[in-house]
Structure 1
Amino acid sequence: MSAVIDREAVAAGAREYLTFRLGEEEYGIDILKVQEIRGYEPPTRIAHAPAFIKGVTNLRGTIVPIVDMRLRFACAKAEYDSFTVVIILNLKSRVVGIVVDSVSDVLELSSEQERSAPDIESAIDPHCIRGLGSVGERMLILLDIEKLMSGADMGLAATDL
């Protein structure tokens, strides 16, 4: 997957997002937080971890916690198939993997295409939603992935994030 950065658009406030699907919903995360995208392989389970933390995997010598976002966001089902992928994130000094249904593409959104998220109850802490993005008929939920992964309910050591 390759993305060309338009320097003028970035200077004008545009951001690039990696988009992915969880069930029927489409989400976007800052492309600069993405280290790599890998096929799903079952991780090593950790005792007493929350159900959405599937375990850990060894990624070239780095132990990476794997969070299933479908379970974290209380999606109706979390089936593993050939489209299921793990997005490896580089968040400050911590590397974390998130399991998603599929990766769509990289989109550049201008500030005019981003809107504030409405104030509604959801499985996602409202402070972790950067806003909503619209591209044609597509509506994206834009996540602040660093805030989301460092939340106390995530069960990950917040001191490293």
Structure 2
Amino acid sequence: MNILEKYLVFKVGEEEYGISIQSIISIEKIDKIRRIPQLPNYVKGIVKVRDELIPVIDLQSIMYQSPLQVDDQVRLIVLQTAALSIGLLVEEASDIIEIPEEAMKQIGLIAYQKTQYFSAIANLENRLITIIDPDILVNSLDGIKEIVEYMDQEKLESESITL
């Protein structure tokens, strides 16, 4: 069996999704999210993780246009993307699995503008897991340029305070 790589599997709505563990910094319980006015609805605010300010993105809001109800099961998956570090708010982060290369199937929906961040579907014996490319996800978000600028400004201000 040819292993492609390891993926963190998590739930959004009733579906399972996966992201390569190479992009993942950490998985956190939700602490206090600092709300920021005038950002898109999918941005819940920012949190501080290991002394870094991270924007919190509600993946359910992006995919299903309904906000995630935060409870004890909700997790924050902190990712490093080319643009910035982000935190994805998900229903639960269940496990890390190895997916064989032959189980990865390309999907026709990749061409659809709003789901271009779906890179493949892992067709496993008893489950289907949609694989997400975090760089494409971040770049496809409306208003991401402004969020990157805001996060850069916050970082500069926090660095000047500590000097």
TM-score normalised to the size of structure 1?
0.81
Q: Which amino acid aligns with 2:23?
A: K
Matched, 1:60 2:50: yes
Q: Secondary structure at the match of 1:67?
A: strand
**Whole-angstrom CA distance in 1 between matches of 2:11 and 2:31:** 18
Whether the aligned pair in 1 keeps the contact of 2:28 and 2:76 (CA below 8 Å) is yes
Q: How does 1:41-120 map to 2 (within 5 A)?
A: 41-74=31-64, 76=66, 78-92=68-82, 94-119=84-109
Contact 1:125 1:148 in 2 (8 A): no
Aligned length: 148
Give 1:102-141 correspondences, 5 Å limit.
102-119=92-109, 125-141=114-130
Partner residue in 2 for 1:5: none
Segments of structure 2 that go 5 or more residues without pairing to the other structure are 152-163
Is 1:35 aligned to 2:22, yes or no? Answer: no
* d(CA) in 2 for partners of 1:59, 1:119: 34
Cα deviation 1:42-101 (Å, max 9, x = unaligned): 311111001110001122321110001111112555211111000011223621101000
Check 1:120–1:133 CA distance in 2 against 1; reply closer, same or farther (3 A cut). Answer: same
Of residues 129, 142, 151, the one that matches 1:153 is 142
- Partners of 1:113 and 1:60 lie apart in 2 by 36
CA distance in 1, matches of 2:66, 2:37: 24
TM-score normalized by the length of structure 2:
0.80
**C-alpha separation between the residues in 2 aligned to 1:157 and 1:38?**
22
Looking at secondary structure, tell me which structure has more helix per residue.
Answer: 2
Equivalents in 1 of 2:88, 2:104: separation in Å?
Answer: 24
The two structures, once aligned, show a CA RMSD in angstroms of 2.4
Q: Is 1:143 equivalent to 2:129 in the alignment?
A: no
Quote how far apart the aligned CAs of 1:151 are: 2.0
